Structure 1
Amino acid sequence: MFNVFPMMIIPVAAYAVAAFMGVDMSAGVFAVPMVNGSLELSVGDILIILGMLMLFVELIKSAGSGTATIVNHGLSMLIFVIAMALFLLMGQFGTAAFFLITLMTLMDTVAGFVVTIVAARRDLAVGGEA
């Protein structure tokens, strides 16, 4: 079940919930003290960090070549199409933070297919040499 579930839905859904609740994505959540001042992280920044973590998990999962992996890639493409439609059609999703999350869903889709194809080709090449 874990391999089928596309993790990129988590930052997209979190952003959607926050956007429909009227949360200001540029509002600062907390500041990290640094030597040269402080680094203030906003809601959008935290959602981008969450998206990068989920993208990392998705890239690790994409190394498989089973049926669950193929279903995961199809669902990832569906999430990208939904995120792109939200970005283009809904006003509260037209921010830089959601644009970056949408790009992450695109990278998840493309990288997943590419990694799976390369892994399958390598499996065929190894099997064909025998």
Structure 2
Amino acid sequence: MLGMFPLLIVPFLLFNLGLAGLFGGTAEDPFSAELFSVYMMSGGVWTMSVGDLLIVLSLVLLFAEMLKSTRSSNASIVDHLLSTFVFVAFLVEFLLVRGAAHPVFFTLMVAALVDLLAGFSVTIRSVGRDVNVG
């Protein structure tokens, strides 16, 4: 049952918690709060913000979703359906909620779209290999 859970719902929920003001940051951009910075050997400074961390988390979860999409079972159908709902939730919130008009949210929405398209593509490709004609 847990394998059918769409992992990209986690960044969606975390973004909405950030909009609720639970991450700190400034009033207009809660995802700009700096988590840490590292002084590089080049003399530059690399900083990690809440928004950057959320994008990195979504990329890791997207990789896990791609691995999940390679299995062929009845659970994969439910997983694709739930992934579709997650993308639709991203899209509706992006279009209707003022706080979702943010580059971090858009990037998360694109990750959900890639998950949706890749999941269907991998499943269709693997099902085509499972069918024997003859």
TM-score by length of 1: 0.92
Structure with bigger RCO (C-alpha 8 Å, 6+ apart): 1
**Cα offset, 1:19, TM superposition:** 1.1
Distance 1:19 1:41 in 2: 18
Task: Quote the Cα distance in structure 2 between the aligned partners of 1:3 and 1:67.
Answer: 12
Q: For residues 21-36 of structure 1, what are the structure 2 equivalents within 5 Å? A: 21=21, 23=24, 24-36=30-42
Partner of 1:108: 115
Unaligned runs of 5+ in 1: none
Task: Give the whole-Å Cα distance in 1 for the aligned partners of 2:83 and 2:38.
Answer: 33
Structure 1 residue 122 corresponds to structure 2 residue 92:
no
CA distance in 2, matches of 1:14, 1:47: 8
- TM, length-normalised to structure 2: 0.89
Unaligned runs of 5+ in 2: 25-29
Instruction: Give the CA RMSD over aligned residues.
Output: 1.3
- C-alpha distance in structure 1 between counterparts of 2:128 and 2:38, whole Å: 46
Instruction: Supply the AA of the counterpart residue of 2:33.
Output: A
CA deviation after TM superposition for structure 1 residue 72, in Å: 0.5
Using the alignment, how far apart are the partners of 1:115 and 1:62 within structure 2? Answer: 7
Give the % identical residues: 37
What is the rounded CA distance, in whole Å, between the counterparts of 1:101 and 1:117 in structure 2? 24
Q: Which runs of 4+ in 1 moved over 6 A?
A: none
The reply on whether 1:82 has 2:94 as its aligned counterpart is: no
> In the TM superposition, what are the counterparts of 1:29-48 in structure 2 within 5 Å?
29-36=35-42, 37-48=44-55
- The one-character-per-residue Cα deviations of 1:93-120 (angstroms, maximum 9, x if unpaired) are 1110110000000000010000000000
Q: What is the Cα deviation at residue 47 of structure 1?
A: 0.3
